[in-house]
């Protein structure tokens, strides 16, 4: 399967750069005014602050430290590590868990719980949006019209969404079932303790009136800002485009970028997004310019401001932690 994906990405990149016109690409880049580009960067800053706010809200529910600026440092360090780890950002989440323990005095288990709950809420929103996005664009793109590909994607998305709904809906049932098990090995016993703590914190989240809905709305809002940025960027190049298709293309490209192939999803996102923009009848130079500008806004710019914030934090006397190997579930 991984070999097939690599071949598909190679084909997409080949199509993207076929007869590439560098001078035309530069002209396309110059279509974006500094003021418009700065405004898009500010929207990205808002996105990052909303993510940090979500972490703080969950930390508050857990009864732990939820200092906004300290949490922002933890997330900045996590974003830096995410940029050099492939796909689904596991390295960044491990880093966040370790920093929550070292910088904010969470226990190892509490840190893992906060990371897990935030990921569960965020991924639920992401998978739901992707389900509708894929349904909208799959019938219009030749490569996605295969019954096998559509069946696999739908199965995976529905299975993931269904699993998360089951955990959120039947928390008490799962807690009782797991509580009545008697693990014989140290690792399974540690995993049982983790799951019991996770489920008990989800119950606390659900017990606060409206909090679960607020968390989900916050996650949906954060994810929706990504196609909003793409739509605003594409409008600088063309006004005759299908914004619904563009929204779907953005999320499908992010889904491809989450595959653990290259650090930060580099290559897979660019190839998919550029190809989908070309399908929308945007010329190849503009399509590549849009993709690279969008990638700078949502990826490279985040790394730059994360490095700056982490550096300023240390210079102003914030604690720094050396990341060492930590076994999250012990």
Residue closest to 26 by CA, chosen among 278, 242, 297, 293: 293
Give the tens place of pLDDT for each residue, 256-303. Answer: 777 655 555 566 788 888 888 888 888 888 888 899 899 899 988 999
Query: Do residues 250 and 238 make contact, with C-beta atoms less than 8 angstroms apart?
Result: no
Predicted local confidence at residue 121, as pLDDT: 94
Residue 242 CA, chain-centre distance (Å), reads: 24
Q: Please give the Cα distance from 258 to 253 (Å, whole number).
A: 9
Q: Please give the Cα distance from 49 to 56 (Å, whole number).
A: 10
- What letters, b where the CB count within 10 A reaches 16 and e where it falls short, cover 247-276? bbbbbbbbbbbbbebeebbebbbbbbbbbb
Predicted local confidence at residue 211, as pLDDT: 92
Tens of pLDDT along the chain (330 residues)? 445 444 555 555 555 555 555 565 577 777 788 899 999 999 999 999 999 999 999 999 998 889 999 999 999 998 888 776 655 555 678 888 888 998 898 988 899 999 999 999 999 999 999 999 888 887 776 655 567 778 888 899 999 999 999 999 999 999 999 988 888 888 888 889 899 999 999 999 999 988 999 999 999 999 999 999 999 999 988 878 888 889 988 998 888 777 655 555 566 788 888 888 888 888 888 888 899 899 899 988 999 999 999 999 988 876 544 443 333 333
Q: Please give the Cα distance from 301 to 34 (Å, whole number).
A: 15
Predicted local confidence at residue 48, as pLDDT: 94
Predicted local confidence at residue 14, as pLDDT: 56
- What tokens were used for 71? 């949490």
Predicted local confidence at residue 254, as pLDDT: 84
Q: Please give the Cα distance from 116 to 123 (Å, whole number).
A: 10
Predicted local confidence at residue 176, as pLDDT: 92
Query: Do residues 329 and 187 make contact, with C-beta atoms less than 8 angstroms apart?
Result: yes
- What tokens were used for 98? 């370790």
Give the tens place of pLDDT for each residue, 10-24. Answer: 555 555 555 555 565
Predicted local confidence at residue 266, as pLDDT: 62
Alpha helices in 18-107 (DSSP H): 22-29, 34-61, 68-82, 90-104
Domain residue spans of the chain? 35-315
Query: Do residues 226 and 252 make contact, with C-beta atoms less than 8 angstroms apart?
Result: no
- Give the CA diameter of the chain: 67
DSSP-assigned states of every residue in 83-142? TTSBTT-HHHHHHHHHHHHHHH---HHHHHHHHHHHHHHHHHHHHHHHHHHHHHHGGGSG
Q: Please give the Cα distance from 196 to 33 (Å, whole number).
A: 53
């Amino acid at each position: 399967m991984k070999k097939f994906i690599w071949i598909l990405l190679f084909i997409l990149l080949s199509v993207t750069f076929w007869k590439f016109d560098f001078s035309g690409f530069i002209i396309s880049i110059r279509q974006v005014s500094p003021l418009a580009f700065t405004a898009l960067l500010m929207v990205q800053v808002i996105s990052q602050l909303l993510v940090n706010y979500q972490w703080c809200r969950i930390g508050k529910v857990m009864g732990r430290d939820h200092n906004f600026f300290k949490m922002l440092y933890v997330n900045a360090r996590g974003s830096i590590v995410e940029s050099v780890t492939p796909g689904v950002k596991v390295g960044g989440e491990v880093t966040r868990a370790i920093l929550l323990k070292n910088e904010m005095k969470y226990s190892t288990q509490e840190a893992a719980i906060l990371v897990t709950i935030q990921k569960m809420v965020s991924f639920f929103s992401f998978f739901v949006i992707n389900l509708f996005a894929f349904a909208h664009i799959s019938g219009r793109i030749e490569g996605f019209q295969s019954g096998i590909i559509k069946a696999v994607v739908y199965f995976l998305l529905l299975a993931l969404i269904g699993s998360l709904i089951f955990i959120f809906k039947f928390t008490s049932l799962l807690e009782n079932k797991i509580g009545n098990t008697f693990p014989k090995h140290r690792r399974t016993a540690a995993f049982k303790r983790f799951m019991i703590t996770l489920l008990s914190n989800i119950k606390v989240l659900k017990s606060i009136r409206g909090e679960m809905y607020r968390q989900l709305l916050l996650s949906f809002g954060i994810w929706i800002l990504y196609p909003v940025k793409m739509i605003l960027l594409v409008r600088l190049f063309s006004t005759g485009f299908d914004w619904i298709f563009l929204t779907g293309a953005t999320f499908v490209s992010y889904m491809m970028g989450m595959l653990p192939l290259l650090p930060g999803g580099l290559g897979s996102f660019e190839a998919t997004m550029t190809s989908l923009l070309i399908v929308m009848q945007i010329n190849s130079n503009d399509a590549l310019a849009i993709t690279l500008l969008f990638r700078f806004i949502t990826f490279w710019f985040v790394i730059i401001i994360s490095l700056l914030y982490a550096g300023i934090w240390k210079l102003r006397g914030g604690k720094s932690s050396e990341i060492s190997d930590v076994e999250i579930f012990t």
